[in-house]
Amino acid sequence: MWYTALIVNQAVRPLVEGFNQKYPYVKVDNYRADSADMIQRISNEYQARRYEVDVIDGTSTPPAIKAAGWMEKYDSPAAAAYPSEMRDPEGYWNTSNLYFMTPGINTRLLSKDEAPKTYEDLLNPRWRGQMGWSTSAGAGAPTFVGNILQTMGQDRGMAYLEQLSKQGVRNLNVSGRAVLDQVIAGEFPISLMIFNHHTVISAQQGAPSDWIAMEPVPALLNTIGLAKYAPHPYAAMLFLDYILSEDGQRVLQQVDYLPSHPNVPAKVPTLKPEQGGFKVNFISPEDQMKNENEWNQIFRRLFMQPG
């Protein structure tokens, strides 16, 4: 049983099909939810001593479940190829895929040459009221706040955020994907904190969509690991090996996710920093958990106050 934050039709089914080509005798069931709902479900199950899940993934789920004492260490042989920032130092999780959070633009309303290129460019009065972002804690505005504070430092970062708060950024209580959809529909020209690969998927379908590598680009990890008291631990470890292997990562590549394996480029290679030539700030899941409340409070104080 795999609890996952990945999109079922786009990623989960192809991964299960690829795994079953190698191991047809292992049946894989899945439950799909966002990280917050998944954490709540697992907490309820473990508190009731119901151990149903084998493999857990999500940007914050495995680290949160690890903190609760409900993850099991597993050092997959396939994980040896991954850099240290993509692996839990204690061996409780690895990274299945990556998310790079960038501005997205409507290319009919704004050419890439005209678009803001740096965080300072966002302060230009021209962009007042022309930008929007998701209020979601995970891949939305609070993580933008965290990236600024981590890369600029507390004092300079807070001064920058104070200035940005005067730009009238639109707060949208929807997913980053939905913010990009509003930009594509022409509601406003710039979306902040969207998944860069979503702009490419949309552009391939004919939408006026592109992304800007605003450095340092915040990078989020979709982590994956073995649940404690997993009812099928050996099948689960086999599945984890496959997800982290080059074969499993190439399945993610072909369905337009961004593989975490350093030897597997994105389907459009420039979406990853090695081939795209952009600098990133890897925001570790532990940093997200530790600072999420603070980043969210700063966001709400600066950007959600009336007027």
CATH of the domain at 138: 3.40.190.10
Residue 191 lies in a domain: yes
pLDDT band of residue 306 (cuts 50, 70, 90) is low
Same domain for 231 and 211, yes or no, is no
- For residue 56, being part of any structural domain is answered with yes
**Separation between Cα atoms, residue 212 and residue 226, nearest integer Å:** 36
Asked whether residue 186 falls in the same domain as residue 294, the answer is yes
Residue-wise pLDDT for 98-146, tens only, equals: 999 999 999 999 999 999 999 999 999 999 999 999 998 878 999 999 9
Query: Rounded to an integer, what distance in angstroms lies between the CA atom of residue 64 and that of residue 135?
Result: 21
Each residue's pLDDT tens digit, 212-228:
999 999 999 999 999 99
Residue at 37 is within a domain: yes
Residue 249 in this model has a pLDDT that exceeds 90: yes
Structure tokens at 10: 């786009």
Q: DSSP alpha helices (H): ranges in the chain? A: 13-22, 35-47, 61-67, 141-152, 154-164, 176-184, 196-204, 233-244, 246-254, 273-276, 285-303
- Structural domain including 33 reads 2-97+219-270
Co-location of 175 and 293 in the same domain? yes
Q: What is the pLDDT of residues 85-101, one digit of tens each?
A: 999 999 999 999 999 99
Q: What is the mean pLDDT of the chain?
A: 96
Angle between helices 141-152 and 285-303 (to 10 degrees): 110
Q: Which residue in 216, 215, 193, 212 sits closest to 110, CA to CA?
A: 212
pTM across the whole model: 0.94
Q: Summarize the confidence of residues 60-77 as an average pLDDT.
A: 95
Q: Integer distance in angstroms from the first to the last C-alpha of the chain? A: 48
178 and 289 in a single domain? The answer is: yes
**Minimal CA–CA distance to 1: which of 33, 10, 78?**
33
> Is the predicted pLDDT of residue 305 greater than 80, yes or no?
no
Residues 142, 259 within the same domain:
no
Neighbours of 118 (CB within 10 A): 10
* 172-186 average pLDDT score: 95
Quick one: 170 and 296 in the same domain? Answer: yes
Same domain (yes/no): 111, 42 = no
Same domain flag for 236 and 133:
no
| Domain assignment present for 279 | no
pLDDT at 297: 96
The total of structural domains in the chain comes to 2
* Residue 242 confidence (pLDDT) above 80: yes
d(CA 197, CA 104): 10
Shared domain for 151 and 294, answered yes or no, is: yes
